[in-house]
Structure 1
Amino acid sequence: MKNQFYLKNFKSKWIKYNNYELREDSKGDIYIIPSDNSNYTIYDPFEKSSNILFDLIDLGDTALKNINDKEAIYNKVMVFVKNYGLLGLISSSVYNRDIIGEQNVLFAQNNIISATLDLDSNVMNSDDYIKLFTPFAGEDDLYTREFDEHLTVVKAEDSPKFYGKKPLVLDIVFSKFYAERVDWIIEYAKNISENLNQMLIYKNANLTEPVEIMPDKFNPHKIGFTVAMFERPQINWDFDSLQMAMDMIYAFALTDEDRILNRCSYCNKPFFAKTEREKYCSPSCRNCANVIKSRNKKKALEEQVTLNENKQELEDTVHEKIKTQEKIQTTENAQTDLVEKKIENILDIIDKRIIESVKKRSVDIKKYEGGEDDMKNEKRKQAIYEYKEKKTTGGVYKITNTQTGKSLIKGEIDLQSMQNRFNFSVSINSCLNIKLQKDWNQYGAKSFTFEVLEETEMKPEMDRRQFKKYLNELAEKYTENMPAEELY
């Protein structure tokens, strides 16, 4: 099968119990240990290579993703240990081949156990080290004694004993009194999961020379083997721990030439691919990924359409603003023309009055060197001077939206001119202030009214700039106590 990995020429033995439980020691550390009424079975880890590998990586992934969800992680640990047994970390964490009978143990480099202990050196007393893994065993439950000049482990329960080349410490590992801290098992699973992740990163990095993958966390040692013969030659691995067996299975899985250990691009679970192009662990994941790609493509097209529509709307708004400014400019030009016409009309009236006055009063035109034209020019200059010297009257006006009640309050030097601009804007339906534009479009020009709130004359000591500033301050006094929602 596609996802099966079986090292058929390899053999080994390990033990597992059918039931485990969690216990807390006197220091508050949580251990996992076989239940009192549990039964053991012996199995070959290599016959379950694929299951062990993928379950171990799944445990590591769960621990990395759900770092604060202890219940979910502990449940995964319990299932894993029930399926495959404890890891035998008492053996795999030290260089000693057999711990029983030796005075001290020497910790292996970058091991999981010593990282959790407060030690001054890399050496620990053997008896204290064994107690780390048997915290719930009494003096009569598990002890060693010398028999015929040899040491033996005495256990107050029925569990396998090994003789010959197997280290004596395995008698402790396979007993019901042997326990391992949950955080040790979790840390080992995380190391394997992180190692696989790092391997996949290096895989796509176009390396120019070999790179060791996380040697500080994945550094197998103490692996021995013998060659045996049954139907054909086979390698019998002398593993002192399940961890060593799993290290070997993982290493062979990474380097297998017929299969490529990868992660599914959809569910992220590990699987064996036949080619580098194979990205999904199952047809279901491939179909789900294709659905997501299709949806993302559709979403991208919709977003592009929306972007284009927004772009067009923005362009239309800009064009509308330009048109509005042009209309305003046209209005201002029209108003300027109107003022000029008014001046011309005034001058014409002055000319007519001058002529009438001359006729009625028999004014002597001869005293003007240029005659009648010179007289007209003189009178015109006087009239224009009087028009310019007329006192400037400004004030504050309010444009109100009768539909919403909102108002625009501004100061203006020439109120009459502003009134004319407003009337002209209403007549051609062209908004004269950008703040009113949205409501102007929605409610129409006839929904707005113009009102003079206050009129005032410009003081002699003021210029037009100072007068404008004064009018703006006057307008602010009208708005300072008004709610913001009532103002544009």
Structure 2
Amino acid sequence: MKNLFAHTSAPWIRYSGYEYKTADDGTLYITVSEGAEPEMYRPMQEAEQLITDAVNVGLAAMHKASEEELKESVLDFVKKYGFLGFMTALPTTADFITYESVYLPKNHFIKEESLPTEKYLSYFYPFDKLDFRKKSVESGWSVTDREGIAITMAMGNAPQAVAMELQKEYAERYDWILKEFTDLAFTFMTSFLYYLDYDTIDEQTRSLYRQGISAFGGISPTYRIALEKDSPVIVWDFHSLLVMVQMCFSFMLTDKDSDMRMCKHCKKAFVASRKGNEFCSQRCKNQFNVYKSREKKKGNKRDD
């Protein structure tokens, strides 16, 4: 996977602070905290940990963690990596600003197949609005603060909407982020259990597993060819963190050389440091052995 994505034009922005804020209709959003500073980083350099963190938030939801725990976990993820960038991930193209309307393939979040641009933007700017103007296919927006200008310039030739969703006015819904992570976790869990239980389940159950995992479908990134010193290379253009997460997760899950595992004790996802590791830490291994020993002693007492 590292070789496949060795060349990316995928810088992303994370801010120094995020917080929850409730819109007038009761929807819970995550927003950039007042006074927070932006920082540019390259998510691909942290891809394995990023994917593992996302899956573990979803696993916590599947294991019925409390709402407060889930809210804390989602916010911690955003603080660590920034927003997912739903605004450019959901439409058929990240260049949706240049079209009369926003066209959407089937997704879990917005039912309409097309929306006026202003209505679509309202999903992501529920509090502070951008200075955005649109008439037919013509549009324009202005940014006046120093940090916003710097972000826009740093995005270079990326679609206009990418720079827009990295501004401090942008917000994302908590339930959307949690849903995305839960889908990742469900896919990971299905794959793990399918092979773990393969010899003990019947064909009908196997078929249900296969049907379940087939529901997962990622969004394909765009790419281009660049001429490097020695040979042409593929340069991936990830116009949202979400697209990068989905693509990297898919390759980690299907790569035979990937060391992504589920801890035998705490049931969290982790990347094994060496082949055969069944536990995410020595602590989990020790606790598992202690519990196993206790169960064995209880069994011996019952036999007596």
TM-score normalised by structure 2 residue count: 0.84
Tell me, in whole angstroms, the C-alpha distance in 1 between the residues paired with 2:7 and 2:98: 31
Task: State the match for 1:21 in structure 2.
Answer: 19
CA RMSD, Structure 1 to Structure 2 (Å)? 2.8
Q: Which residue of 2 aligns with 1:87?
A: 84
CA distance in 1, matches of 2:32, 2:268: 30
The letter of the residue matching 1:220 is: G
Q: Distance in 2 between matches of 1:254 and 1:10?
A: 21
Between 170-179 and 8-17, report the one with greater CA deviation.
8-17
Equivalent residue for 2:42?
Answer: 44
Aligned residues: 288
Q: Tell me if 1:261 matches 2:260.
A: yes
Partner of residue 130, structure 1: 121
Q: Aligned partners of 2:162, 2:36: CA distance in 1, in Å?
A: 18
1:143 to 132, 136, 158: 132
**Which amino acid in the other structure matches residue 61 of structure 1?**
L
Indicate the residue corresponding to 1:244 in structure 2: 243
Which one of 131, 142, 148 corresponds to residue 154 of structure 1?
A: 142
Can you list the C-alpha shifts for 1:364-409, whole angstroms capped at 9, x where unaligned?
A: xxxxxxxxxxxxxxxxxxxxxxxxxxxxxxxxxxxxxxxxxxxxxx
Q: Partner residue of 1:112?
A: 108
The letter of the residue matching 2:114 is: V
Is the contact between residue 22 and residue 31 of structure 1 (CA under 8 Å) also seen in structure 2?
yes
Contact 2:52/2:271, CA 8 A, preserved across alignment: no
Higher relative contact order (CA 8 A, sep 6+): 2
Kindly state the Cα deviation for residue 272 of structure 1 after the two structures are TM-superposed: 3.1
The 5 Å alignment of 1:315-394 reads none
Q: Please point out which of 161, 164, 168 is paired with 1:172.
A: 164
Name the CA distance, whole Å, in 1 between partners of 2:211 and 2:156. Answer: 36
Cα-to-partner distance string for 1:72-107 (whole Å, 9 max, x where unaligned): 211111111011010111121221331214232222
Match of 1:73 in 2: 70
CA distance in 2, matches of 1:18, 1:233: 37
Residue 233 and residue 263 in structure 1: after superposition, are their counterparts in 2 closer, same or farther (change >3 A)? farther
Indicate yes or no: 2:93 matched with 1:96.
yes
- Structure-1 separation of matches of 2:55 and 2:126: 28
Give the distance between the partners of 1:221 and 1:30, measured in 2 at CA. Answer: 25
Q: How far apart, CA to CA, are the structure 1 residues paired with 2:224 and 2:284?
A: 42
Structure 2 gaps, min length 5: none
Structure 2: how far apart are the matches of 1:15 and 1:285? 34
Give how far 1:235 is off: 4.0
Matched letter for residue 58 of structure 1: N
Could you tell me how far 1:184 is from its partner in structure 2?
Answer: 0.6
Partners of 1:99 and 1:15 in 2: how far apart? 21
- The residue type equivalent to 1:125 in the other structure is P
Match 1:198 to one of 166, 190, 215: 190
Deviation at residue 192 of structure 1 after TM alignment: 0.6
State the 1:259 CA deviation: 2.9
Change over 3 Å in CA distance of 1:50–1:233 after alignment to 2: farther
Shift of 1:13: 1.3
> SS in structure 2 opposite 1:27?
coil
TM superposition shift of 1:296:
1.2
Distance 1:258 1:13 in 2: 26
Deviation at 1:150, TM superposition (A): 6.7
- Quick one: which amino acid aligns to residue 144 of structure 1? R
Contact 1:66 1:73 in 2 (8 A): no
Deviation at 1:196, TM superposition (A): 0.5
Hey, what's the Cα distance between the residues in 2 that align with 1:225 and 1:279?
A: 36
The 5 A counterparts of 1:291-302 are 291-302=290-301
- Alpha-carbon distance between aligned partners in 2 of 1:256 and 1:214, rounded to the nearest angstrom: 16
- 1:282 paired to 2:290: no
Q: Secondary structure at the match of 2:94?
A: coil
Q: TM-score, normalised by structure 1?
A: 0.54
In 2, are the aligned partners of 1:61 and 1:190 still within 8 Å (CA)? yes
Q: What stretches of structure 1 of length at least 5 have no aligned partner?
A: 306-488
Structure 1 residue 153: deviation in Å?
2.5
State the 1:136 CA deviation: 1.1
Shift of 1:28: 1.1
> In percent, how many aligned pairs have the same letter?
26
